Amino acid sequence: MVRNLSILLAASALAGCVTPEAEYGYRAPVVYSPSTRPPPGPTIYDTAARAPLHSQLFACRNRGSNLGEIGMDGEALLYAPYIDTPAGPLLRMPVETGCLSSGFGWRGSLEGGRAHNGLDLANPDGGFIYAAGDGYIRRAEYFGGYGNTIEIDHGNGVITRYGHLSEINPNLRRGDFIAAGTPMARMGMTGNATGVHLHYEVYISDLLVDPLHYGRPPTMVSAPAPADPYVTTPTDTLVTPPPEDTSY
């Protein structure tokens, strides 16, 4: 009898310990000390290929605004794979694949509109997002209207921002070094977004620049050399004197 009573009291005590989880539907989090925290496990970012180098960028079928010059086949005529910056070259298209849906500049009319401060690269199927260049992580978190956002400080006043990500590599932390071309996130539509795309911004010395047109290589044009106005061409004709007559 006494033994049965002890078992009942022990069972009642255990039931009291688990009541909050059963009642409120949550499991108490496990808190690790620094010495017992497990190391981060492998993710898809550890095995994914590095960034491809896109030789061309095409406008999306449903084209937005500020796309720049578009060719007959829908290609962005002024596109070049790299952005030349004080921190070195950056990828102009740091996505697995995508099309140009909106460019940098003012959207709408003068009476009503807003500034669009970056480049929108869209792909309804998503895909990986890559670090445009070597740098250190400044931000890897949810950031207001940008949704899930990554910022990279490349040095020499150059910063890149990647917005609307569906997810971020969970092992990425502020202050981490990241190499150019490293997969670090997936394209999405978190924050203020109406479709799956990457919103890509570039800052140079605290100023926003156009990621599509800034830092392009100089356009080489073949043309005849202009005439030098300081070089004169002789126009006088040399007259050869007749031979001397020696018949007399």
Question: Percent of the chain beyond pLDDT 90?
Answer: 50
pLDDT band of 10, cuts 50, 70, 90 = very low
Write out the chain in H/E/C secondary structure. CHHHHHHHHHHHHHHHHHHHHHHHCCCCCCCCCCCCCCCCCCCHHHHCCCCCCCCCCEECCCCCCCCCCECCCCEECCCCCEEEECCEEEECCCECCCEEEECCEEEECCCCEEEECCEEEECCCCCEEECCCCEEEEEEEECHHHCEEEEEEEECCEEEEEEEECEECCCCCCCCEECCCCEEEECECCCCCCCCEEEEEEEECCEEECCCCCCCCCCCCCCCCCCCCCCCCCCCCCCCCCCCCCCC
In this predicted structure, the answer to whether residue 232 has a pLDDT above a threshold of 90 is no
Q: Which domain holds residue 67?
A: 44-209
Return the C-alpha torsion angle 201, 203, 209, 211, nearest 10.
Answer: -40
Residue 217 lies in a domain: no
In this predicted structure, the answer to whether residue 188 has a pLDDT above a threshold of 80 is yes
Q: Over the stretch 73-125, which tens digit does the pLDDT of each residue have?
A: 999 998 999 999 999 999 999 999 999 988 877 666 566 666 678 899 999 99
Residue 149 lies in a domain: yes
In this predicted structure, the answer to whether residue 218 has a pLDDT above a threshold of 70 is no
Show the tokens assigned to 124.
Answer: 């309804």
Highest mean pLDDT among 17-31, 40-54, 132-146: 132-146
Show the tokens assigned to 116.
Answer: 């669009």
Q: What does pTM read for this prediction?
A: 0.70
User: Comparing 96 with 5, which gets the higher pLDDT?
Assistant: 96
Q: What's the pLDDT score for residue 125?
A: 93
Residue 151 lies in a domain: yes
User: Comparing 222 with 183, which gets the higher pLDDT?
Assistant: 183
Q: What's the pLDDT score for residue 124?
A: 92
Residue 25 lies in a domain: no
Count the domains in the chain.
Answer: 1
Average pLDDT, the chain: 79
Q: What is the CATH number of the domain that holds 178?
A: 2.70.70.10
Residue 29 lies in a domain: no
Residue 33 lies in a domain: no
B/e letters for 179-191, b = 16+ CB within 10 Å, e = fewer, are ebbbbbbbbbbbb
**What average pLDDT score do residues 140-168 get?**
96
Residue 119 lies in a domain: yes
User: Comparing 51 with 68, which gets the higher pLDDT?
Assistant: 51
CA distance 122 to 164: 11
In this predicted structure, the answer to whether residue 196 has a pLDDT above a threshold of 60 is yes
**What average pLDDT score do residues 14-43 get?**
46
CA distance 86 to 83: 10
> Shortest CA distance to 100 belongs to which of 149, 51, 64?
64
* β-strands 119-122, 99-102 pairing: antiparallel
| Cβ atoms of 76 and 70 closer than 8 Å | yes
Residue 97 lies in a domain: yes
